[in-house]
Amino acid sequence: MISDHDIKQLELKANDIRKDIIEMLVAAGSGHSAGPLGMADVFTALYFNILNIDPDKPEMDERDRLVLSNGHICPVLYATLARRGYFPVSELKTLRKFGTRLQGHPHRGTLPGLETTSGPLGSGLSQACGMAYAGRMDGKKWWVYCLTSDAEHDAGNLWEAVLFAGKYKLNNLTVIIDRNNIQIDGFTENIMPLEPLKDKYEAFGWHVIEIDGNNVQAVIDACNAAKGIENRPVVIIAHTIPGKGVDFMENRFEWHGIPPNIQDVGGAPDKLHQAQEALKELRTLGGKIRSEHE
Amino acid sequence: MSDMLNQNAHLNPKVFDEDVEQVPSRNGFGEGLVLAGDENPNVVGLCADLTGSTKMQAFADKFPDRFIQIGVAEQNLVTIASGMAAVGKIPFTSSYAMFSPGRSWEQIRTTICYNDRSVKIIGSHAGISVGPDGATHQAIEDIAITRVLPNMVVIAPADSIEARKATVAMAKNGKPTYMRLSREKVPVITTESTPFEIGQALVLYTGSDPEKKDDAAIIACGTMVHRALLAAKALKEHKISVRVINCHTIKPLDKKTILQAAEECGAIVTVEEHQIYGGLGSAIAEVVSQNFPVPMKIIGVEDHFGESGEPNELLEKFGLTVDTIVKAVTQVLRMKEK
Ligand SMILES: Cc1ncc(C[n+]2csc(CCOP(=O)(O)OP(=O)(O)O)c2C)c(N)n1
Ligand SMILES: [Mg+2]
């Protein structure tokens, strides 16, 4: 069991990661805001509680594998890896710049802690299935996590993997869906309806857990529960708020692919003050996150 | 210097000016699709969750009943289009080049090209000039994978005006057609009066008076045409006369114009924002080597993936600059002398 105090610490950590995200994006002058902010709590729970990893030995064989399928939310991955000690936090400001290890979409090769290259949507789950299948073949104890977005469920490749994992009962695989209801052209249910998503996964032989993805405790509980499910792959549908923590970004699909301070967006401060406002909000949010849920 | 511009090409008189207007070629597609839609009610638009950035929004606004949102599903995008073409529609599909024709390639091959259906594949954000998004989003293989397909027409317009004309023209050509577009602004080279015909390369610039032959030809497509012109102008100052050809249609290739350049100039440099394997340069080399071999240099990305950075930093790193073109011309001239 994790103590209330530790949960609070994780919530503060998630908030620091959100501030990093804003700062990185502003320095980069391009990149994605909504998804990364919405997933900060999931990343914090995974990297600071759930995953069996060692930043000093990023390639150790017994590590859990985390595949980020929706690569465009990599600012949250980079900020989390840096805060977890994989590389200096100061490197975050090189995001998307010429010569950086922090490519606009993650590239496995030079940056420690990345399991794969991603950005083109829909092909992470198949890779995760391949890892889980091979790991089971070799009797490995490590676990495979795959993070995907909701709009990735438009893609056939993803459902091919859902079928596969169901057939082979990949019980060393946990998928977490960023169910934030937005994609580029609008809300998912207008662009390409996904509901009833839970029923779809169940029909394909999966065990489904639905949670509030902005609640660190809920994420941790769901991941632990997933490990107890024996005969099936598990998907955690994490209902998140895109842009979480920055009022003017929350639930606005316009913020999918732009950083603060570049463009005037309806309902947001004028473009020069967006980052400043966002950071101010995040500072005052510190420590209050959990009480929001209560 | 503008007297060296081919008068029949009616180029933008400001083409060599610092303050030449700059517009992304994808904008021209957006305008052209509305025109094509006005002309023919069978024109339909299909998009995979990138309606704004591929510039299909204007068509969607004007013809909401003829716009179809596919979601993030590029294989579905092109195969739905194939089915619609089978029963008389003229579908324009748009995504980023990396995803279509990138991800949707086999479906394009079999259901569109092998069936010979008039589906239009619009691949925006091609090339490394996509910039900060990095290699996963920088399509530098798309010309190769489309031009290898029988029945396919492949077009890489040099600017927004040409992209607009190409869009209108391909709505009428009855063939599977791929058009490659760029995200970044590029100088507007052509004008309303510039001739455009699919399959017809255009001489934009000659370094010497018409009776005399040029020392070399630079054949370029897409975003590199403007740089080719700048290189020709720089070479002119060194008394090297160069012919610049805008080869906007990579397939079917305008063999006549290409071979004429080989015969009259005796040396060729090609430039494209694409891998050196399988792109414009390869297409030219296939024709030249088998009909009238002359020294050639192919400028492009040399067997490498792209990376994050500002467009100009990347173009510099991968050697897609005026300087590289100038150097390549002097190299082919040396090869020619031997
Ligand atoms: C195969 C593929 N097609 C298109 C894109 C362009 N693209 C990037 S993100 C995105 C959809 C965004 O929706 P979602 O994945 O739910 O992410 P969110 O906005 O919620 O962060 C699209 C279409 C892509 N990256 N990959
Ligand atoms: Mg989403």
Ligand 1 site, residue A152, Cβ cutoff 6 A: yes
Confidence band of A261 (pLDDT split at 50, 70, 90): very high
Within 8 A of B101 by CB-CB distance, chain A residues are none
pTM tops 0.90: yes
A104: left (phi over 0), alpha (psi -120 to 50) or beta: alpha
- Tell me whether residues B307 and A98 touch, CB distance under 8 A: yes
Report the CATH number at residue A8.
3.40.50.970
Ligand 1 site, residue A240, Cβ cutoff 6 A: no
Averaged pLDDT, A9-32: 97
| A225 falls within a domain | yes
Q: What secondary structure letter does DSSP report for A56?
A: T
pLDDT of residue B207: 85
Residues 152-181 of A with CB under 8 A from B: 152, 154-156
Question: What CATH number should be reported for the domain whose range is B2-21+195-337?
Answer: 3.40.50.920
B47 touches chain A (CB under 8 A): yes
- Taking alpha carbons only, the member of A247, A225, A250 closest to residue A236 is A225
- Give the closest-approach CA distance of A226 to chain B in angstroms: 28
The Å distance, Cα A9 to ligand 1 centre, comes to: 32
Averaged pLDDT, A62-76: 98
Indicate the average pLDDT of chain A: 96
Is the pLDDT assigned to residue A67 strictly greater than 50? yes
Is the pLDDT assigned to residue A291 strictly greater than 70? no
Domain that holds residue A154: 4-283
Question: What CATH number should be reported for the domain whose range is B23-187?
Answer: 3.40.50.970
Within 8 A of B309 by CB-CB distance, chain A residues are 97-99
User: Cα–Cα distance between B90 and B118 in angstroms, integer?
Assistant: 6
Q: Let me know if the fold of B2-21+195-337 is the same as that of B23-187.
A: yes
| A291 falls within a domain | no
pLDDT of residue B208: 82
Counting the structural domains of chain A, the total is 1
| A236 falls within a domain | yes
| A219 falls within a domain | yes
- Tell me whether residues A105 and B50 touch, CB distance under 8 A: no
B249 touches chain A (CB under 8 A): no
Residue type, B11: L
Q: Considering only CA atoms, which residue is closest to atom 16 of ligand 1?
A: A151
- Tell me whether residues A98 and B73 touch, CB distance under 8 A: no
For chain A, give the percent of residues with pLDDT over 70. Answer: 97
Give the best residue of B49, B55, B67 to mutate against chain A (max A CB count within 10 A): B49
Is the pLDDT assigned to residue A22 strictly greater than 50? yes
Walk along chain B (338 residues) in steps of 10 and give the mean pLDDT of each run.
Answer: 78 97 98 98 98 98 98 98 98 98 98 98 98 98 98 98 98 98 97 98 88 91 98 95 98 98 97 98 98 98 98 98 98 95
Confidence band of A288 (pLDDT split at 50, 70, 90): low
Domain ranges of chain B: 2-21+195-337, 23-187
- Taking alpha carbons only, the member of B53, B33, B309, B311 closest to residue B186 is B311
Q: What is the ipTM of this complex?
A: 0.94
- Tell me whether residues B136 and A120 touch, CB distance under 8 A: yes
Q: Which residues contact A100 (CB under 8 A, 6 or more apart)?
A: A91, A94, B308
| A292 falls within a domain | no
| A288 falls within a domain | no
Stated length of chain A: 294
Is the pLDDT assigned to residue A292 strictly greater than 70? no
